[in-house]
Every structure is written in C-alpha cells, then in structure tokens.
Amino acid sequence: MKDRPPRPPADPPAKAGLPGLARRRSWFRTRSWMRSEHLQQWTQTLVLLIGAVWGIYTFWYKDIWVPSLQPANLTLDSTITPVAGSVARTGDRETILQVKATNSSTRPVYLLGNYWLLTGLPRITNQPPIPTTEGQLLPLANQVLQQDNLSHFESAVPNQQDPVFLAVGRLFDDDVIQPGETIRRSLLVRIPRGIQALELRALLPLLHRRPRRPDQALFNGRTLGWKLTDLFNLEPQLCPPKEPTTKQGVQPGAPRPSAPPCELVYYQTIDEQIASFDSHYFLVNLREQFALPNGAGTAP
C-alpha cells in the first residue's frame, strides 16, 4: 500500500463563548461617520470653545473681574524723628514726620482731597500719681468715657491737659498710585517745649475709578477740600476746580477768578456722592500717637 502524504495540522477548536459576543465586539470598530470631515470640524470647534472658556476664566475673571470687586486699599506707615542739635533757645525742637503710603491692592488707586493733623499731648510727669481710691478714679474715668472725642484717662499722669494744635495740611496730591507702588512724604514740624507726646491724624479717600472722566466727573468737576473748625475737627467742603495751567496771570492750581467759594457739606453727603460714583471706594483713617524720644520737646 502506497504511503499517503501527511495531513496538515488541524485548526485548534474554537473556544466556546456567549452567544452574540462577536456581534458586540463589532460595535467598537471605527465607524465610517467617525472619520467624516464634519465630525473633525465639530471636534476642533469644541476644543476651541473649551480653550476660550478657560482663557476667559484665567485671564479675565480671575485677573480682572475679581480684583475689580475688591475695595481700594492703602497701607500707611508713619514715624517721628527728632532732628539732632535743633533745640532752640525757647526749648522748642524740630522733628521730621515721615509718612509712607503703599498700594497693597491689585488695581490702581486714585487719591481724593486728604489731610493730616498733628497735635501735642502735654504729659506732666513730675508730680505724684492720682490716688488709686475708687471714689477718685471712677468719676474721672467715666467723664472720659462720656465725651465725644477719643481722649483717655491715666491714673499715673495727673492733671492731664487738652491737646495742643501743632500743624495741619494736605498729605498727598490728588494722584494715582499703581499696584505695589509706594509714595513718601517728609514734613518738618517744630515741637514746643513741654510736649512729650504727639498724635497724628490722617484721612485719605481712595477710588478705583478715575475721579475726572470725560463721561462723568465726581462732584460735578469740583474738588474735595477740608476746613479746620473748633476742637481740632475738619469738615469736608467742595471747592471750585483748579486751573491746570497758567492762564491770564493765574498760578497753576489756583481757583478760577470767577469761581464761587468753597461750600461746606455734610460727611453723609460726601459719602453718598462718592459711593454713587464708585461703590468700591475706601477710606483710610489713621490716628496714631507717638512718644517723643531723647527728651524732645523739653528744655535742654
């Protein structure tokens, strides 16, 4: 019998599976519509929209919109330094008042009319303190608590006197301070003999919007000023606009010849007008006391 050729190896038996498994596997195959140009265009458009939304959130919402809702902010630092060797024959001494303002916000701030007021605090220290009996201390302490001003009572300082007016003026010009910028002002003030402490008061209204705009001007173009009244109080007033340049013999910054005088207004009126112009405005109110070092203000 003739030899037969060897048979080829048989195929391995197919593994048993669930009915319809091959049909479900075919769903994962790439469909023809997935390769269409319309789908690719829509995909690119969706990617661009997502990128635009992310860009608006990152560069406009976080960096522009959110900071615009924050109020204006300004940090004030002040120091008093006696001038060495400046004692006069009368016992007065020259001191340097330094004020530093830093814009700690993320937006420019615009300064309105502001002021600073320096008063002296006489402190008699060469007399014995007030007895610490309850009957003598309570009436004096309650008298201070019932006053309108911010004075205080100390049992170790007898015969406390009223503050002495020393100097007043505008602290900074109506200008803009950029984010992170610092401006400084140094003032030379003479301290009379007998003054051992000082109190500095300053008030600075701040805006986020430019106060003089082509479409709208704060206070109808007038400027915010201040008037010193009795008891060392300053009241706001609205003054006519200043001449920006020399014109017909008028010095720069002087009121116009035909302008009416300044008008006193209430604090509430000023606050309402500023708030209607810029709802995020901020008021920096500084009140700080200093002890004069090295015997400043005393007899040499």
Residue 211 burial (C-beta neighbours within 10 Å; 0-12, 13-18, 19+)? buried
Cα separation of 86 and 191, whole Å?
11
Q: In the predicted model, what is the mean pLDDT of residues 97-117? A: 90
First-to-final CA distance of the chain = 145
18-22, 172-176, 262-266: range with lowest mean pLDDT: 18-22
Indicate the SS3 state at residue 172: coil
Are 189 and 278 within one domain?
yes
Strand order through the sheet with 182-191: 75-87, 93-102, 182-191
Q: Are residues 83 and 98 in the same domain?
A: yes
Tell me: do 171 and 154 sit in the same domain: no
Mean pLDDT across 266-290: 89
Per-residue model confidence (pLDDT) at position 215: 61
**Residue 53, in any domain of the structure:** no
Say whether both 98 and 199 belong to one domain: yes
Query: What CA–CA distance (Å, rounded) separates 75 from 103?
Result: 6
Residues spanned by the domain of 145: 133-158
- The answer to whether residues 143 and 255 belong to one domain is no
Which of the four pLDDT bands, split at 50, 70 and 90, describes residue 142?
Answer: confident
Structure-token pair, residue 106: 């993320």
State whether 147 and 229 are in the same domain.
Answer: no
With a pLDDT cut of 90, the percent of the chain lying above it is 23
DSSP H or E run through 110: strand 109-111
Do residues 114 and 210 both lie within one domain?
Answer: yes
Domain final residue pick, 141, 158, 175: 158
Q: Is 171 helix (H, G, I), strand (E, B) or coil?
A: coil
Pick the more confident residue, 17 or 177. 177
Element (H, E) at 206: strand 195-207
Residue 239 lies in a domain: yes
Structural domains in the chain (count): 2
User: pLDDT at residue 299 above 70?
Assistant: no
The single-letter DSSP state of residue 149 is: S
Do 208 and 227 lie in a common domain? yes
Mean pLDDT of 93-102: 92
Percent of residues, the chain, with pLDDT higher than 70? 63
The residue whose two tokens read 């007021």 is 117
In a domain, 104, yes or no: yes
Q: What is the pLDDT of residue 247?
A: 47
pLDDT at 300: 41
Q: What is the pLDDT of residues 38-69, one digit of tens each?
A: 777 777 788 888 887 777 766 666 666 666 66
Instruction: Indicate the helix (H) or strand (E) that contains 152.
Output: none
Both 138 and 242 in one domain: the answer is no
Residue 214 and residue 91 in one domain: yes
pLDDT for 257 beyond 80: no
**What is the reported pLDDT for 148?**
73
Q: Which residues contact 201 (CB under 8 A, 6 or more apart)?
A: 116, 117, 118, 119, 286, 287
User: Quick check: is 265 in a domain?
Assistant: yes
Better-predicted residue by pLDDT, 264 or 174: 264
Q: Cα(135)–Cα(116) distance, rounded to whole angstroms?
A: 39
Arithmetic mean of pLDDT, 205-212: 85
pTM > 0.75: no
